[in-house]
Every structure is written in C-alpha cells, then in structure tokens.
Amino acid sequence: MTSLLSTLSLAGIPPEDEALRAPVRDFLHSELRDYPPHLRARSIGAHDAAFTRALGAQGWIGMNLPEDVGGAGRSHFARFVLTEELLSFGAPVVAHWTADRQTAQLIARYGTPAQRARYIPGIRAGEIVFGIGLSEPDTGSDLASVRTRAVPTATGWRINGRKIWTTNGHRASHMCALVRTSGTAEDRHKGLSQLIFDMKTPGISTRPILNIVGEEEFCEVLFEDVDVPADALIGEEGDGWKQVTAELAFERSGCERIYSSVVLADIWLDEMRALENPPQIVVDMAGRIAGRLSVLRAMSLGVCACLDAGQNPELEASLVKDLGTEFEQEVPNWIAEANASIPGFRPSRELALALAYVTQYAPVFSIRGGSRHIMRGMIARGLGLR
C-alpha cells in the first residue's frame, strides 16, 4: 500500500487548464441546446458523428498529444477538464472516445512518422473513428487468450479470426486490433502484436449485438483472409501486450470511469430541490453521492498527474476504475431507494426515463475496460497480495 500512496497523491488542475472549462461549456450549450435530459443521461454510450466533427473543429480531440506528432501539446489535466465537462453535460462522446483516449496515444508513442501523419490529423478532426479489437469469443475477460492470428505475407499481414464486444465497431472507420503474430494461445503475452487497418478492407464483416436497452452498441467483427499492408503493424512485432497495458491505463484512469451516472444524479437533484421538505434520506443520498464523487475525482486527478509526469500508473488506474465503476452502479440504486421513501412522489418523465436507462445499462460499467474481477486481481498483484 505504501507504493500506491506514494505515487497517487493529491493534485490540482493548473490554472491554464482550468481556463478551458468556460469555452467548453459555452460550446456545449450552443451545440446541444435542444438535447433533452433523458438523452443526456445516455452520454457514455451515445454516438454522434456530427458532434465529434464539431468537437474536432475546436481542436479538442487529441489535444494532449505532443506538438511534434500533430497534437496541441496540452496536458492530461486539460483533457480531464474537457472530459469532465462533456460527461457532466451529457454530450454524445462515443465517436471520438477511443481514438482520443487510447489509439492516438498509441500511435504518437509507437507509430512511425508516416503512421502519425496518416492517422493523427484525421483523429483530431473527428473524421477517423477507431474501434478496439481486444476481446474474443469464449475467452471472457482473459485478454491474453488471443486466437485471432496475423501471418506475414509478401506485402504485409493476413488476418483470420474474430473479435467481440467491440464498441461501435460497425460504425468505426478503422480498427486497432491485438492479434497473435507468433506462437499459440498458450504462450499468453508472448507473440502478440497490434495492427491498425481500415474497416472497409475486404474480408472484414461486422455483426451488431443488441444490448439490454435495445441499442446496437457493440458488435462482433469477423476476419476472413484479410490482407493488410506491412505498415499496419504499430510498434515492434511481439510488443503488443506491453502496448495494450499502457493504453488501458489511459482508458481506466479518467473521469469517464466515474461520471457515467452523473447526469442522472443532476436530474434527480433538480427535482429534489423542488420539494418543500425533502426527507432525510434525500439529504443523506445527496451527501453520499457528493462525498464519493469528490474522493474519486481527487484520485482520478492523482492518476492524471502520474500520466503527465510520464509514468505508467497501471495499478493506480485499476484502483480508480474499480472504485469508480462501483460508484457509477450504485447511483441509480441510491436514487431509486430515495424515491421510494418519499410519500406520494412521482418522478418527472425525464427522471423516470433517465433512471430506467441507467439502471438497465449500469452492469456494463464494471465490465468495459476490464471486468471487476480482473481489476481486483491486478490490484492484488500490484500490492503484493498475490
């Protein structure tokens, strides 16, 4: 525990990054002024290509990439402020989410100059939308059991296999996939590489998967003799696992693992403020939400400071992700409990729709980016407990 506490310390947002908050709010109120509250509660799963392009036009996608690779050279704190505002407002974020948070960082760190020139401008403009090919059928959360294989050809690589639970893979223009380029599944982390390719490449097909709330958010992606060029390889052959673990620290550490239920909480609080004499359970639940959110936000900012210092806070990010998604899942339960305790209370249509959606969707929170059991195993190893 000493190691964790020594690296995850309190951190504040620098003034130059905090200054980003006001223009982002102005942009959101202008761009999404007619967006109803119950749709804003779906932010974390909402895909809107036009909104993503508008966000890109502001220079707010990939802005914390170094300037020498095509970024704006802003800090991770700047991205934190942007993300916090997007999720607090309930903006549709999915179209740029993966590329901004993970794939652009991967390309900036491991890509060749030609790869950076090819992808980063399109990512920053909101024109290139990435899906991540990690999970596979019949392997659960065991990410290392990759069976999708890429074999070398005279011109590059030929891919065969399947990926599953790819968020918006059927809407993505490109994919970054973890594939086996040598050895077998029993070799675990060895022999894995990452390839980036166009989703229109012949031999790729997608099968959307209907989620519990009736949306086609995920899909299965099939590869049948898919030929990609040699420069589809990102980084060194066989270094895929090292690259993926670095990427997942970006995915697991931000406020996107804390704020998935925050719009619902705001809708509920607005209605509770309208009550003449709210019962004590309402006050208690509001305090519980605020207290937990405050601590988790401070932890997420601590991870942000680690990333800004060039560290790889895998353990710390896993802890924030586990605690954050637990909080996200509890919020709709707390609100439902409070509502049931208010005599004669009838929620508005907006609150009822938002609560129903988040309650059904909440099981996803602790699965995406690594299941709760995987996170806790990583935390235990990082703390020397296993």
Query: What's the CA gap between 321 and 375, in Å, rounded?
Result: 8
| Fold exhibited by the domain 132-238 | Butyryl-CoA Dehydrogenase, subunit A; domain 2 (2.40.110)
Residues with a catalytic annotation lie at 251
**pTM, whole model, 2 decimals?**
0.89
Amino acid type, 122: G
**CA end-to-end distance (rounded Å), the chain:** 13
- Residue in the block written with tokens 């209605």: 271
Whether pLDDT at 4 is above 80? no
The pLDDT confidence band at residue 8, using thresholds 50, 70 and 90, is: low
Helices of type H across 71-155: 76-89, 94-98, 104-110, 113-125
In the chain, domain spans: 2-129, 132-238, 243-382
Check if the beta carbon of residue 301 is closer than 8 Å to that of residue 328.
no
Contact 62, 100 (CB under 8 A): yes
pLDDT mean over 128-152: 86
3-state helix, strand, coil in the chain (%, to 5): 55, 15, 30
Model confidence at 252, in pLDDT bands (50, 70, 90)? low
What CA–CA distance (Å, rounded) separates 55 from 94?
12
CB 61 within 8 A of CB 236: no
Predicted confidence band of residue 1 (pLDDT cuts 50, 70, 90): very low
The pLDDT tens digits for 208-234 are 998 888 888 889 999 999 999 999 999
Q: Which residue has the higher pLDDT, 135 or 9?
A: 135
State how far the Cα of 70 lies from the Cα of 145, in Å rounded to an integer: 35
Q: What is the pLDDT of residues 328-338, one digit of tens each?
A: 999 999 999 99
Q: Do 243-382 and 2-129 fall under one CATH topology?
A: no
What is the assigned CATH class of domain 243-382? mainly alpha
pLDDT at 69: 93
Determine phi and psi for 162, rounding to 5 degrees. Answer: -145, 145
- Ranges of H-type helices in the chain: 2-7, 15-18, 21-31, 37-40, 49-57, 76-89, 94-98, 104-110, 113-125, 240-253, 262-273, 280-308, 314-340, 349-361, 372-382
Rounded to an integer, the average pLDDT of 81-104 is 94
Lowest mean pLDDT among 3-7, 36-40, 74-78: 3-7
AA letter at 50: A
Q: What b/e string do you get for 115-140 counting C-beta neighbours within 10 Å, with b at 16 or more?
A: bbeebbebbbbbebbbbbbbbbeeee
CATH classification number, 2-129, choose in 3.40.50.300, 2.60.120.1360, 1.10.540.10, 1.10.287.130: 1.10.540.10
The answer to which of 172-181, 250-259, 345-354 has the lowest mean pLDDT is 250-259
Q: How far apart are CA 104 and CA 106, in angstroms?
A: 5
